[in-house]
Chains A and B, each alone.
Chain A
Amino acid sequence: MRKSMFVVEGSYAVAHAVKVCKPNVISAYPITPQTHIVEDLAQFHADGEMNCEYINVESEFSAISALIGASAAGARTYSSTTSQGLALMHEALFNASGMRLPIVMTVVNRALSAPINIWNDQQDSISQRDTGWIQLYAEDVQESADMTPQLYKLAEDEDVLLPAMACMDGFILSHVYEPVILLEKDITDEFLPSYDPEFVLDTKNPMSFGAFADPSTYTEFRYKQEKAMGVALEKIEQIANEFKDIYGRYYGGLIDGYVLDDAEIVIMAMGSVIGTIKDTIDELRTEGESVGLLKVRSFRPFPKDAIRKALKNAKVVITLDKNISVGKNEGALCTEVKACLYNTDNRVPVIGFMLGHGGRDIPMHMIKKIVNKAKLVEKGIFIESEFADLREDLA
C-alpha cells in the first residue's frame, strides 16, 4: 500500500482516478478552480497514457452536450466543471438525467457571481439539486479521487442509469497537496467493469432517444428517475463497502459518523469542512462537551432514513451550509434535514448556520462559537438559521 502513496495536488489525484477508469470521451473547458483536472488529463492524453477522445469544447454547455451524445453512443464519459460553468450546463443536466445517461462529472465547488468570486462554497452544485443527478460530497483529496470509480460503478448500474457529480471543494481540495494513494490501472478489472449499455445509438438496432412525451406519458419518466434514485440509495452503501473490501478505504456510504453514538450535540455538514469539524470535536470532547459529527456524503439521493436513524439520540442538531436559498434564510442541508424529521416522533431542534461563502475561511473557533450558540437551545429556539461568519463592519 505505502508504495503507491504520493504527495500530489488534489486535481492530479482526481485526474489520475479518471485515467484509471478508462473513459472513452472527455470534454474539457477551462474554469477556475477546476482547470487543473482537465490540464492533467490533457497531459495524460498527450503522453499516450489514455486511449480516449479528448474534446476541447467552446463552452461548458457544449462540454455536457458532447457527453450526452457520446454517452448515448455507448461511451464512458467524463468532464469537470464548477460554478458559472455548471450553471451554464443547467438545462443540459436535466436532459442527461432524463435520458438516463450515466455521465460522471467532477464539480469543483465554487461560489456564483455576482459579485464574481472564484473561491469555494457549494452554491453551484446545491443549485443543481433537482436536475436528477446523483451528488456525493468528498471530505478530502483521497475521497475525491476514490469517489470517481465508485460513481462510475453506481451511475452505470443498469438499475440506476443516472448521471453523477463528484463534488469537491474548490482550492481547499483541488489545489492542496496531500499524500494520496493513487489508484492502479487494474481498477477496471477488480472493481469497475467496462461500460456495456443495453440502450445505445447503433445503426444495427436503431432506437430513438429524447422523444416528445405528452401529458399521458411524461409523469412516468419522472417517476422512474425517482425509483432509480431509490436504487442508488442502496447501491451507494454497497459500492462503498465493496471498495473498502478491495482497497481498505471507506468514507461512509450515504453518511458517516464521528463520535456520533453518544453525542447530544450533532453537527451535520458536507465536504472539506468535515476535517475541521473533527479536529474541533476532538478538542471539545476533552473539554467534556458531548459533541459528534454526522457527515452527509450523499446529498442526492438524500438519505432520509439513515439520517433519521443517526439523529435518534441527538438533543440538538447543527447544520452547516456553504450555500443559501436567498429568501428562505437557510442553506439546503438545514432545510432538508428539518423536512426529513418533520413526520417523525423525533422533535430534535435543528439549527442552521450558513458560513464559508465565497471562500471565507472556517476556523475551529468558528465551529466552537456555533456549538456554544446551539447549546442555548435548552432555553428555547432563539436561532432558526443565521449567517455564522458575518463581518460586522460590512453587514
Chain B
Amino acid sequence: MSLLKPGHRGCAGCGDALAGKFVLDALGEDVIVISPTGCLEVFTTPYPESAWGVPWIHSLFENAAAVASGVEAALKSLGKKDKTKIVAIGGDGATLDIGLQAISGAFERGHDFTYICVDNEAYMNTGIQRSSATPLYANTTTSPPGKMSSGNPLYKKNMPAIIAAHGSPYVATASIGYAPDLKKKVKKAAEIKGPTYVHVHAPCATGWKIDSSKTIEVGRLAVETALWPLYEMENGEITSVRKIKNRKPVEEYLKLQGRFKHLFTMKGENPHIKKIQEIADRNAKQFGLE
C-alpha cells in the first residue's frame, strides 16, 4: 500500500494527492515530511485521522522551509541524520508567495533537505484565488475575466530559476503526468546532499474546471505544448531536458480547461492565445525541447 493512505478527503481527480503519493513512492519510509498549510495538508489530516504513513508535521502556511531547517538541525544534533530524508511538500501559494522568504533562508543556509512544490497554479484550498504561479489569462476568483479583464494579467513566476540562483545543487521540474520521471527526480533530489528542489506541475480538476478523469491528460498536455518544460539543473547548469517529438499547439491544452474558456469566446484572431503560444515557443527555444 502507498505510504499516503487511501481514505483522505482529496477531490476526485486530485493532482495534489497523486503528487503526494508519487513522492512517497519514491522516498520510502525513512523520511520526515513537512507540509505548509494547503489542500494536501488539510485533506490528509482530518483529526483524529491521518493519511501519512511517515512522520509528518504541519506548522503554518509560510514557514515549511524554516520548520524543515529545524527538523534537519535537530536530527543532526541528535545524531539521527545519517539516512533519514527531510522533505517539505508545499503548494504554489506556500512556495512562490507567502513562504518565499523562509525558502530563500533555508536554501541559502544549505540545509540538507528537499523542497517539493506541488503547483496547481492558484490558491485552491481557499477557493481558486490567483497566486504568482497562476498562468497568464487564467480565470480565478480573484482574477476573473470581465469587460475590463482577460483573466490573470501577469506571467507565472519562475520559481526554479529563483532556487537555482541560490546555488542549489539540484533543481528539477516534473509533472504528475509523467510519474516515473517525477519519482526518479524526487529520489535523486533527496539523495543529493544540500538543499534541493523539485517543482511538480499538478492540475487541479476543481480549480481548472476540467473533467476529473482528465487530470493526467491535461498534465501531459502542459508538457507536450512546452508550457511546462521538464528539465534538471545541477549546480546551475541544465543537465537534462525532456524532448518533445510533436509539439502541440497550446489551444489543445487550453480548450480542455474551464479556466481558459473565456479565451475561446472572442471573435476574430485571438491575441491572448497567441501570447500564450509565444510563452510555449520561448520555452521550446530556451530549453531546446525539440
Are A and B bound to each other?
yes
Q: Is the CB of A211 within 8 A of B105?
A: no
1/0 per position for B71-92, CB-CB distance to A under 8 A?
Answer: 1111111100000100000000
Q: Which residues of B contact A67 (CB under 8 A)?
A: 70
Q: Is the CB of B58 within 8 A of A210?
A: yes
Q: Is the CB of A217 within 8 A of B48?
A: yes
Chain A residue nearest to B42 (CB atoms) is: A212
Q: Is the CB of B77 within 8 A of A75?
A: yes
Q: State the interface size on chain B (CB cutoff 8 A).
A: 45
Decide yes or no: A25 and B104 within 8 Å by CB, A65-B59, A212-B46, A217-B47 being known contacts: no
Chain B residue nearest to A202 (CB atoms) is: B55
Q: Which residues of B contact A62 (CB under 8 A)?
A: 63, 65-66, 69, 101-102, 105-106
Please tell me if B56 contacts chain A, counting CB pairs below 8 Å: yes
Decide yes or no: A209 and B56 within 8 Å by CB, A56-B109, A65-B63, A75-B74 being known contacts: yes
Chain B residue nearest to A61 (CB atoms) is: B63
Q: Which residues of A contact B174 (CB under 8 A)?
A: none
Q: Is the CB of B45 within 8 A of A61?
A: no
1/0 per position for A56-100, CB-CB distance to B under 8 A?
Answer: 111101100111111111110100000000000001100100010
A-B contact count (CB 8 A): 160
Decide yes or no: A53 and B30 within 8 Å by CB, A92-B60, A201-B55 being known contacts: no
Q: Is the CB of B71 within 8 A of A72?
A: yes
Chain A residue nearest to B54 (CB atoms) is: A206
Q: Give chain B nearest CB distance to A17 CB in angstroms.
A: 19
Q: Which residues of A contact B76 (CB under 8 A)?
A: 53
Q: Which residues of B contact A73 (CB under 8 A)?
A: 32, 70-71, 74-75, 78
Chain A residue nearest to B105 (CB atoms) is: A58
Q: Which A179-215 residues have a C-beta within 8 angstroms of B?
A: 201-203, 205-214
Q: Which residues of A contact B63 (CB under 8 A)?
A: 61-62, 65, 68, 92
Q: Which B4-39 residues have a C-beta within 8 angstroms of A?
A: 29-32, 34
Please tell me if B263 contacts chain A, counting CB pairs below 8 Å: no
Q: Which residues of A contact B77 (CB under 8 A)?
A: 24-25, 51-53, 70, 75
Q: How far is the CA of A211 from the CA of B59 in the complex (A)?
A: 9
Chain B residue nearest to A63 (CB atoms) is: B66
Please tell me if A55 contacts chain B, counting CB pairs below 8 Å: yes
Q: Is the CB of B108 within 8 A of A208?
A: no
**12 A-B pairs, CB-CB below 8 angstroms?**
A27-B70, A58-B108, A59-B102, A65-B66, A68-B57, A69-B72, A72-B71, A75-B74, A203-B29, A206-B54, A210-B45, A212-B46
In order of increasing CB-CB distance, the 3 nearest A-B pairs are A69-B70, A58-B105, A65-B66
Besides the known contacts A99-B59, A208-B57, 10 further A-B residue pairs in the complex with CB atoms under 8 A apart: A25-B74, A52-B77, A61-B66, A62-B65, A69-B69, A73-B75, A73-B78, A206-B54, A210-B45, A212-B47
Residues of B within 8 A of A (CB): 29-32, 34, 41-42, 45-48, 50, 52-60, 62-63, 65-78, 84, 101-102, 104-106, 108-109
